[in-house]
């Protein structure tokens, strides 16, 4: 029972709940409390490093958790003097996905769109984790053209490989809405600024 919990850890609301459900007195290396994530504590930061090292992408079970991971990752790579920008883009887009559920976007966004948005968020996170892990622990500091090449490669993988199966499942109407969201058209202009807007054509998938 305890080993199953440990291999599929999740964010814990408080230490008391964690202790009662796991039998552990202290948090394991892959674990964190909600307040740790919200306050970017050392516990949260160390858990992210541990999970990257051991490729534990399944530890992050919600869009909010993945959003804050991207935020931490972007800051961590900046501290390493990396010039890559994909983590910043991923954080921005992941953060905006939460707005789909809130007014006024929820009025114009159907359940199918919400479903595929959440599925896409999880898919990209899980698929990108290994690539991000290699970058984080690399001895090389990607700057200038090398950083641009890394960004171009992961963006291509994201749009044309990792999300390809999801695009194939989506009906034409839903795909059109997702396309507008990605490009920041109509009401979604307030969600997606020009610097991160997708410029391709999802209808060609």
Confidence (pLDDT) at 187:
36
Confidence (pLDDT) at 167:
75
Q: Which residues pair with 12 in a beta bridge?
A: 33
Q: What is the pLDDT of residues 49-65, one digit of tens each?
A: 999 999 999 999 988 99
- Per-domain residue ranges for the chain? 1-59, 61-204
Which residue, 88, 81, 51, 84, is CA-closest to 67?
A: 88
Confidence (pLDDT) at 110:
57
Confidence (pLDDT) at 99:
66
Q: What is the pLDDT of residues 127-181, one digit of tens each?
A: 999 999 999 999 999 999 999 999 999 999 998 899 888 778 777 776 676 666 5
Full-model pTM: 0.80
Distances (CA, A) of 47 to 35, 52, 90, 205: 13, 8, 20, 37
Q: What is the pLDDT of residues 86-139, one digit of tens each?
A: 999 999 888 877 766 544 444 445 566 667 777 888 999 999 999 999 999 999
């Amino acid at each position: 029972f305890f080993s199953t919990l440990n291999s599929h850890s999740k964010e814990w609301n408080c230490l008391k709940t964690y202790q009662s459900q796991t039998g552990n007195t202290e948090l394991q290396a892959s674990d964190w409390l909600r307040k740790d994530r919200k306050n970017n504590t050392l516990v949260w930061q160390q858990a992210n490093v541990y999970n990257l090292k051991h490729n534990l992408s399944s530890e992050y079970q919600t869009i909010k958790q993945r959003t804050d991971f991207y935020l931490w990752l972007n800051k961590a790579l900046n501290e390493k003097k990396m010039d890559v920008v994909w983590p910043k883009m991923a954080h921005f887009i992941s953060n905006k996905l939460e707005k789909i559920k809130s007014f006024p976007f929820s009025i114009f966004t159907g359940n199918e769109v919400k479903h595929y948005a959440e599925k896409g968020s999880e898919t990209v996170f899980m698929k990108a984790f290994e690539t991000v892990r290699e970058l984080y622990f690399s001895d090389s500091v990607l700057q200038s053209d090398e950083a641009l090449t890394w960004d171009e490669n992961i963006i291509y993988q994201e749009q044309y490989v990792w999300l390809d199966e999801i695009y194939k499942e989506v009906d034409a109407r839903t795909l059109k809405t997702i396309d507008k969201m990605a490009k920041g058209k109509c009401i979604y202009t307030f969600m997606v600024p020009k610097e991160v807007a997708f410029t391709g054509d999802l209808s060609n998938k």
